[in-house]
Structure 1
Amino acid sequence: MKKQLVTAAVCLSALLLAACGSKSSSKSVGSTKSISLMQNAELLSLDTSNHADLTQWNVLENSMEGLYRANRHNNPSPAMATSVVKPTDHGKTYTFHLRKNAKWSNGDALVAQDFVGAWRRSVSPTARSGYNYIFSGIKNADAITAGKKSPKMLGVKAVNKHTLQVQLDHPMPYFNKMMVLPAFFPQNQKAVQKFGKAYGTKSQDMDYNGAFQVTGWNGTNDNWTLKRNHYYYDPSAIKLQQIKMSVVKDPNTAHNLFTQGKLDDATISGVTAKGLQKNKDLVHVRKAGTYYVRLNLRNGRPLNNQKMRQALSLVVDRQKLTKDVLSDGSKPAYTYTSKDLTKDPTTGKDFATETTPKLKYNVAKAKQLWQQGMKEAHLSGTVKLQLNGDDQTVTKNVAQLLQSEIQQSLPKVKVAINSLPAKGFQDREAAGKFDMEQTLWLADFADPISFMGILESTNPQDYGKYKDAQFDKLFKQAGGANANNPKKYWADLRAAQERLNQTMPVLPLYQMVESHLVNPHLKGVLHHPVGEDDYTRAYLTK
């Protein structure tokens, strides 16, 4: 899942530094039926067919449900489906029986066609979410995304009102894991028809089938409320009446709001987090996500040269980055696929650990590669690189370190930093107007192929235009012919990660570890290392 970056800040005065180092104790927001949470970036849309980022998925995780939801053990458990399905037809057919008491927030019955219509809409080549690729493997999905077949040909159908059947092109052992993703959530087809292009652009322009429904978002404001959905099928499991959400980009502000009792869960980083590592309310949440720099490999761009890309990776001191800049428990990342995502069952080793490159930080080697690369690319003057990022504090701090290390370590290079609002950043990304950009990938499901997918050359999220025949072949083999052969499947994935280590279309920076200040009375939250956090069963003890 491509997401906006988590915030970090440097306290700018002795007063703020004192505040950063103080101990804190959160208070309840005034009601045991209400909690207040923060998001690090603006909410831009609620329509999963036309948008996808962290804030949207965090909101939908708590207001919508798919066929399954992730349980406390991070495994799929029944949601709109009555049970976790075992496939038939040699792993190619899944038949889901839906809850007959499932309803939308307006009282409409949820039916199988709500999944059919949503998936057809999202797989269409006109969908703007960048997530139509996630349907690959479902019968005809690739041809539909390529514009060669109608979305009506997608291998999904409503057998009857409460039975959904999915046909795959080939077995996908991880298919059930994928069904917890917001990309596969249903959409009330009556609402889609009613609101048309306005669907999901404001909180009232769609319906919700989860424990809560979104209210008070007009499409541009930075705060909204999730209020209890009284049509939810399992009311006894829901203890809260509402969840208040607001956008907070600065961790020192988040800390202050927490100490004032205005946030029950605050994300902090940088100097703020460093000064609070012994705070009794601090909780570290490990995520299977990698922060990295995407490089633009388009023809005519300087980083089209492989040796220059390798040089950039070797001048980044990731230990310094995580220790001195982030200071929030984050760990250096040397592979695109994050550690702690999954073990390779054929070796018993952590997948990222076993594919970590031997050469990690070597300025002398980097200079040699840079000079060779410039010669190959016929570059003689100063190489000017544009480093884009969003306007959150952590992005700026990381960018400054990257700028300093690149310019000090490599000859004839100048790095310009562009800090942009979320929409401006995404617009430039989609248009390819960058040389480097800071971003994050958080695994959609616990398998390395979730990372590999967006670097495949036909993927709509391949914004850097990485196109490598060897990588594409390995990716397609793993997800196709070798999907049901564990030995070959994992060999393909190891080779694909090693190919990324060599060709370097992205520069891994650090693994995602969130520092949260949490109200000690807040219980029942499910923090998932893969996917979004679930507050639907949360409650306050006083």
Structure 2
Amino acid sequence: MKKAVSKLIKATMIMGMFLLFSGCGGTKKDSQKENEASPDKIINMMEINEISSMDSGNALDGGSFIAITQVMEGLFNLDADDSIIPGVAEELPEISEDGLTYTLKLRKNAKWSNGMNVTAHDFVYAWQRVVDANYASPSSFLLMDIKNAEAILGGVKQPEELGVSAPDDYTLIVELEAPVAYFTSVMTFPTLFPLNESYVNEQGDNYGIDANHLLYNGPYVLENWEHGNQKWTYSKNDLYWNSKQSNVDKVNIQVVKETNLAVDLYENNELDRAVLSGEFAKQYKNDPDYTTQLDSWVHLIEVNQIKDGEKTIFADENARKAIMIGIDRDHIVNEILDNDSRVAGGVVAAEFVGNPESEEDFREESGILTSYDKVNAQKLWKKALSESETKEFTIDLLASDQDENKKITEYIQYSLEENFEGLTVNISLLPEKSLLDRESNQDFDLLLTRIGPDFQDPTTYLNNYAGDSFHNHSGYNSSIYNELLQKAGELSAKPKERWQVLIDAEHTLLEEAGVVPLYQSANTALMRQDIMGMIHHLFGPPNYYGKIILKDE
């Protein structure tokens, strides 16, 4: 899946879930203790981030979305190739000729974990809740394409006037403001999952605070979780309509942020999948358990132009450009990570989405938009200093407290202090929730983060930097960029023209150094070879355990 352009830009505004969708783990066929004492098929996974919220309507970070996807299900799922397949819906939607009306038929055997049927009314309630201005969902922009959503969020209309209705228990009608070619993929995202109204109302403020105040309709139910936990369990949901797609009874999860600890746990049969980077990736590259797959996460630096109500040095475009070309991305990818990650050519990931006519990859068409240039970086920084009353700056570089970020931030600190006179960089590595709080309060100078796609379209990345985007925390507000995004929104019926406008928009964003892309990560890990069917998605929550088959010895 990160601020006024137009209704359609807001409509497609997407949270690149910079935040966070993150690493995961594998299987524990040999795990001692619990496995030896039980005939159940149990796998043990790792995540890099904690769960901050299990409420699908207000979750914001990747760790939460990954968890929600294991225990809840929306209208559609993604298969191993990221093709859209039916979930609670029986089949793909029937779309009217004008592209404005979606008719969806729901399966009658989808149930909540309390035995109630999942109905179309559950989707109507959940979606109306998300766009209710009093609820203040951070993900409401995902529904902005739906008729009346903007007016409801603006307080002009009521949530009940949202363009979604249930003429009967198993038919859902969705009306859009304008055609959106990728809207079906938006419906795969957890923000659009159903909620049982009677249960949510019964729980009140307690809904989602722990595993005992949740209702599930996905392949697993959540156990042993409350806010702040570093360990929890997904247990098989026998009421799930497709429960036979996996033979796994339990998935034990623990948060592991350090690669060396993950590897130790893997070697001791306490983890069945260990995420690798740096020296560990090099060490295990020839191991038969080694697996790697390109992610669609783009790791980047947000460059804050306004802090405490005052302009920073980075309000000067020269200073931002200096940061952009003053960091050697090849060193980060090849020396620090060395795990099949790639240098980021822009903010839109490679191998993510293709030209609607030629199918050529967006990244290939848009090109490599930035590169390391120490000499010109120093010139740009000196020019920024010459136009500033202050000649010495101490800035904060923030990042989440994952293992790999320590070395990356130290390298960025060294590069900037070495290349730019008068600059001192202080590093703060924070837990994910603290980092999100600092980011949303615009309390940083530079912030190392990442964005991931919520649906399969370049705007899932690009709209994060629109002037009025909920996820734009750096003060970047370009009239040229905003106009290009607005134009793209108006060209929904002309995909070829729209595609070129989106390429132009990315070029503008990078030419103005609105954000500094660094690398596109790879999902590299050791994983037991008896695990079959673990799915890693290139958009939406990346890790899905619902189809894992644990092979017998």
Normalising by the smaller structure, the TM-score range is: over 0.9
Amino acid at match of 1:302: I
The 8 Å contact of residues 272 and 528 in structure 2, kept in 1 or not, is answered as yes
Task: Please state if 1:315 is matched with 2:331.
Answer: no
Distance 1:388 1:314 in 2: 19
The 8 Å contact of residues 22 and 63 in structure 2, kept in 1 or not, is answered as no
C-alpha displacement at 1:423, in angstroms? 1.9
Task: Please state if 1:437 is matched with 2:439.
Answer: no
The aligned residue for residue 520 of structure 2 is 511
C-alpha displacement at 1:84, in angstroms? 0.3
Task: Please state if 1:345 is matched with 2:347.
Answer: no
Summarize the alignment of residues 456-495 of structure 1 with structure 2, pairs less than 5 Å apart: 456-479=466-489, 481-495=490-504
Distance 2:316 2:358 in 1: 34
Distance 1:499 1:109 in 2: 49
Task: Please state if 1:165 is matched with 2:176.
Answer: no
User: C-alpha deviations, 1:83-134, integer Å up to 9, x for none?
Assistant: 0013115000001111111110111111111111111222233445521111
Distance 1:334 1:487 in 2: 22
C-alpha displacement at 1:142, in angstroms? 2.2
The aligned residue for residue 193 of structure 2 is 185
C-alpha displacement at 1:7, in angstroms? 7.6
C-alpha displacement at 1:235, in angstroms? 2.7
Distance 1:324 1:5 in 2: 24
Summarize the alignment of residues 134-213 of structure 1 with structure 2, pairs less than 5 Å apart: 134-213=142-221
Task: Please state if 1:107 is matched with 2:107.
Answer: no
Q: Secondary structure at the match of 2:301?
A: strand
The 8 Å contact of residues 5 and 394 in structure 1, kept in 2 or not, is answered as no
Summarize the alignment of residues 393-542 of structure 1 with structure 2, pairs less than 5 Å apart: 393-479=403-489, 481-531=490-540, 532-542=542-552
Q: Secondary structure at the match of 1:384?
A: strand
User: C-alpha deviations, 1:2-43, integer Å up to 9, x for none?
Assistant: 2248689xxxxxxxxxxxxxxxx9753335621111110111
The aligned residue for residue 371 of structure 1 is 382
With over 3 angstroms needed to count, the CA separation of the structure-2 counterparts of 1:327 and 1:381, relative to structure 1, is: same
User: C-alpha deviations, 1:402-423, integer Å up to 9, x for none?
Assistant: 1111111112211111111222
Distance 2:23 2:84 in 1: 30
Which of 293, 296, 299 is the matching residue for 1:291? 299
Poorly superposed stretches of 4+, deviation over 4 Å: 5-8, 126-129
The aligned residue for residue 15 of structure 1 is none
Distance 2:185 2:462 in 1: 16
With over 3 angstroms needed to count, the CA separation of the structure-2 counterparts of 1:6 and 1:487, relative to structure 1, is: closer
Unaligned runs of 5+ in 2: 1-16
Amino acid at match of 1:119: W
With over 3 angstroms needed to count, the CA separation of the structure-2 counterparts of 1:333 and 1:82, relative to structure 1, is: same
Task: Please state if 1:241 is matched with 2:246.
Answer: no
The 8 Å contact of residues 33 and 539 in structure 1, kept in 2 or not, is answered as no
Distance 1:354 1:409 in 2: 32
Q: Secondary structure at the match of 1:313?
A: helix
Distance 2:295 2:193 in 1: 22
Task: Please state if 1:85 is matched with 2:93.
Answer: yes
Distance 1:372 1:154 in 2: 51
Q: Identity of paired residues, percent?
A: 29
The 8 Å contact of residues 102 and 209 in structure 1, kept in 2 or not, is answered as yes
Task: Please state if 1:305 is matched with 2:316.
Answer: yes
Which of 19, 22, 30 is the matching residue for 1:3? 19
User: C-alpha deviations, 1:289-327, integer Å up to 9, x for none?
Assistant: 200111112251221111110110101100001111112
Distance 1:449 1:7 in 2: 24
Which of 211, 219, 228 is the matching residue for 1:220? 228
Q: Secondary structure at the match of 2:526?
A: strand
Task: Please state if 1:28 is matched with 2:4.
Answer: no
Distance 1:349 1:379 in 2: 48
Unaligned runs of 5+ in 1: 9-24
C-alpha displacement at 1:468, in angstroms? 1.4
Distance 2:434 2:263 in 1: 27
The 8 Å contact of residues 283 and 515 in structure 1, kept in 2 or not, is answered as yes
Amino acid at match of 2:378: K
User: C-alpha deviations, 1:359-395, integer Å up to 9, x for none?
Assistant: 511111111111222334x233202221111122212
Summarize the alignment of residues 257-276 of structure 1 with structure 2, pairs less than 5 Å apart: 257-276=265-284
With over 3 angstroms needed to count, the CA separation of the structure-2 counterparts of 1:7 and 1:346, relative to structure 1, is: closer
Amino acid at match of 1:374: L
The aligned residue for residue 9 of structure 2 is none
User: C-alpha deviations, 1:485-528, integer Å up to 9, x for none?
Assistant: 01211011011101111111211010010111111000111222
Distance 1:89 1:358 in 2: 38
C-alpha displacement at 1:232, in angstroms? 0.9
Distance 2:137 2:299 in 1: 20
C-alpha displacement at 1:65, in angstroms? 0.8
Distance 1:486 1:219 in 2: 44
Task: Please state if 1:54 is matched with 2:56.
Answer: no
The 8 Å contact of residues 133 and 145 in structure 1, kept in 2 or not, is answered as no
The 8 Å contact of residues 398 and 427 in structure 2, kept in 1 or not, is answered as yes
Q: Secondary structure at the match of 1:437?
A: strand
Q: Secondary structure at the match of 1:62?
A: helix
With over 3 angstroms needed to count, the CA separation of the structure-2 counterparts of 1:347 and 1:539, relative to structure 1, is: closer
- Root mean square deviation, CA, Å: 1.9
TM-score scaled by length of structure 1: 0.93
Distance 2:120 2:23 in 1: 39
The aligned residue for residue 251 of structure 1 is 259
Matched length: 524
Q: Secondary structure at the match of 1:349?
A: coil
Amino acid at match of 1:476: Q
The 8 Å contact of residues 389 and 420 in structure 1, kept in 2 or not, is answered as yes
C-alpha displacement at 1:70, in angstroms? 0.4
Distance 1:141 1:500 in 2: 28
Amino acid at match of 1:362: D
The aligned residue for residue 13 of structure 1 is none
Distance 2:426 2:157 in 1: 43
With over 3 angstroms needed to count, the CA separation of the structure-2 counterparts of 1:127 and 1:413, relative to structure 1, is: farther
